[in-house]
Structure 1
């Protein structure tokens, strides 16, 4: 019986001994399906591990070390167990749903393995740095006027960004490259040939988005709305700028995709800082007196109202007030909205429960 036990246990003991002596050497390769995403998208990752020797491994656990900026409740999504035995190449894939906004740094891949009895365990960390940018979610904003919400709960669009930027000045013969929507059908029918409208570009006024990041509950939505307004403005050819209230960094009024990317990169990295008090004095700065102002905030305060009412051109100001639902408005906020209405400042409500139902790419 003793010899039987010896010969039965000998292969396992020999395997454990060799397992302890043979080093685990491998290289890792991570493939991200996209390195730039929008908040809420799905992150797809492929991992490939190649080792140098064919020593059999009963099991291995591959884990892509998650950065703290992911804010994962569980790390199981980034772990996979394999039973490779003699295979020298290991491949795993995983997905993370509803990825968070931010600049994420993936740093390493962790490999854990052991013998079949758990007597000997090994762990190898392979450095593998890769950056992932997750931009704010772009929202299709149905702007609701304060008047319609207070009176009958209806919807009304109030935004000069939604107004047409071109004015028709005449017609001309159709040319290659003209849009189909530009065809003047009445003139075409009268003359018997395709005629398109001629446009004169309106004088577009500059736009500055003032983002108030003090309200923690509405912070992410404020970031998304600021990004959405800026993207809409740039796509319409409107010079735009960004002024975060309470931050020394600001972006001058300019045009172009590069300028938009700079502002979106800032909004990608910005984090809520409760100790930082907003600086409302920038709302009355002389350089912004003749620009259109969008003030995005999660709460109306007396200091903010005083700065807005101190502007000369109040008709150029639109306050976008972010709330979770209609019933979250306080009595003080309703009073301030009435004051804004009396002074010519447009106030619009954006409710989170409706906004996040619709997103744009």
Structure 2
């Protein structure tokens, strides 16, 4: 039997019980007589009539959901406004409005998404709620649930209003500490090497402004002297592209690895550096490219990616010839012998940066310490990042 059919059967069973109770009260008043029996009957009659009318009048309503922010990052606060309009003026003693929560919210309690109102004759009901520390992922809000009943609970009704809304919560963006190219962090845990902040071109002269030149390239001093727009000319350096290799197989630091990967990719693309993403252990790889649309594709993947216990990391892409001259960021929560061997097999080790993510309470194993020393000795920059320190540097 369908849920709607079960609700209808339950409703009419309750109505029949109410009719039987009303008839019993009437018979008691007629046969017993006296003030007490008549008082009980007439006191019960208004509630019985209201319940009968409540059962006959259909609950018809429309719902509108408004999200205060459509683009969120993990850890942000979600603010939602619900507006319910009903078509008939029948008085309702109470209504319980609940925004049906998706399983992806991982809420311990759903009290925030539910509220009781006492509308009586009001035709428009409003309900707002907030959820703190919203989880990363693609969430689907599907329906609004409305429950109501009479004063004594003789008759209850429930209506579900379909209301589809997709919510994307992107990974948390971290303000990663960056060291300069000529600086090497021997101790780890304090800074991340990056050539992303280095200039990619050098000014060699000026020329007349041409259509398509960027406004930021205008040389204002020369423009003022000559009385016409002049733009800077650049000597293009050998441009590096960036490939982020992310190991999503460690459940303990899974979310932090996702956030670091998203932060590095966003920094690269905003600086005009072609970037790509290669999840270790997943066939879904993103080619090296640039532009906002390419960044959104990678962020969408990082928004939806989930930890899979059965997935095993695959280190072959680290030695692929197509990434030989690319800058490599390897983000992992476990430094294993296979990973170190794959990195040491690269000919251009200076372009490799390993980010080893650990919790503050964790300590490196003896094996990991030896592997870190081997990587550093070969010229591969290796940095240890701690979760607590990173999440204090969240980008808003």
Q: Give the TM-score of the pair, scaled to structure 2.
A: 0.82
Match of 1:65 among 100, 117, 134: 100
Matches within 5 A, 1:170-249: 170=205, 199-249=234-284
RMSD of Structure 2 on Structure 1 (CA):
2.7
Cα offset, 1:120, TM superposition: 1.4
Query: Does the aligned pair in 1 maintain the 2:265–2:295 contact within 8 Å?
Result: yes
**What is residue 363 of structure 2 aligned with on the other side?**
328
Match of 1:6 among 41, 45, 57: 41
Question: Aligned equivalents of 1:94 and 1:356: distance in 2?
Answer: 26
- Please say if 1:131 is aligned against 2:170: no
Cα offset, 1:200, TM superposition: 3.1
- Please say if 1:29 is aligned against 2:64: yes
Query: Does the aligned pair in 2 maintain the 1:168–1:198 contact within 8 Å?
Result: yes
Query: Does the aligned pair in 2 maintain the 1:212–1:296 contact within 8 Å?
Result: yes
What secondary structure sits across from 1:10 in the alignment? helix
Q: 1:180 to 1:249 in 2, by over 3 A?
A: closer
Question: Aligned equivalents of 2:191 and 2:58: distance in 1?
Answer: 68
What secondary structure sits across from 1:3 in the alignment? helix
What secondary structure sits across from 1:149 in the alignment? coil
Cα offset, 1:165, TM superposition: 2.3
Question: Aligned equivalents of 2:218 and 2:114: distance in 1?
Answer: 52
Query: Does the aligned pair in 2 maintain the 1:143–1:348 contact within 8 Å?
Result: no
Cα offset, 1:141, TM superposition: 0.5
- Please say if 1:254 is aligned against 2:289: yes
Cα offset, 1:178, TM superposition: 6.4
349-358 or 68-77, which deviates more: 349-358
What secondary structure sits across from 1:106 in the alignment? strand
Cα offset, 1:327, TM superposition: 5.2
**What is residue 276 of structure 1 aligned with on the other side?**
311
Q: Which has the larger radius of gyration?
A: 2
Q: List alignment gaps of at least 5 residues for structure 1.
A: none
Question: Aligned equivalents of 2:308 and 2:345: distance in 1?
Answer: 27
Q: 1:4 to 1:308 in 2, by over 3 A?
A: same
Cα offset, 1:36, TM superposition: 2.0
Cα offset, 1:328, TM superposition: 2.3
Cα offset, 1:82, TM superposition: 0.4
Q: Give the number of equivalent residue pairs.
A: 354
Question: Aligned equivalents of 1:27 and 1:299: distance in 2?
Answer: 52
Question: Aligned equivalents of 1:178 and 1:31: distance in 2?
Answer: 38
- Please say if 1:354 is aligned against 2:389: yes
Question: Aligned equivalents of 2:54 and 2:60: distance in 1?
Answer: 13
Which deviations, in whole Å up to 9, do the C-alpha atoms of 1:163-193 show, x marking residues without a partner? 222324357899x986699888xx9xxx9x9
**What is residue 29 of structure 2 aligned with on the other side?**
none
Which deviations, in whole Å up to 9, do the C-alpha atoms of 1:190-209 show, x marking residues without a partner? x9x9x997643432211110
Query: Does the aligned pair in 2 maintain the 1:32–1:46 contact within 8 Å?
Result: yes
What secondary structure sits across from 1:63 in the alignment? strand
Q: 1:209 to 1:128 in 2, by over 3 A?
A: same
Match of 2:350 among 305, 308, 315: 315
What secondary structure sits across from 2:52 in the alignment? helix
What secondary structure sits across from 1:72 in the alignment? coil
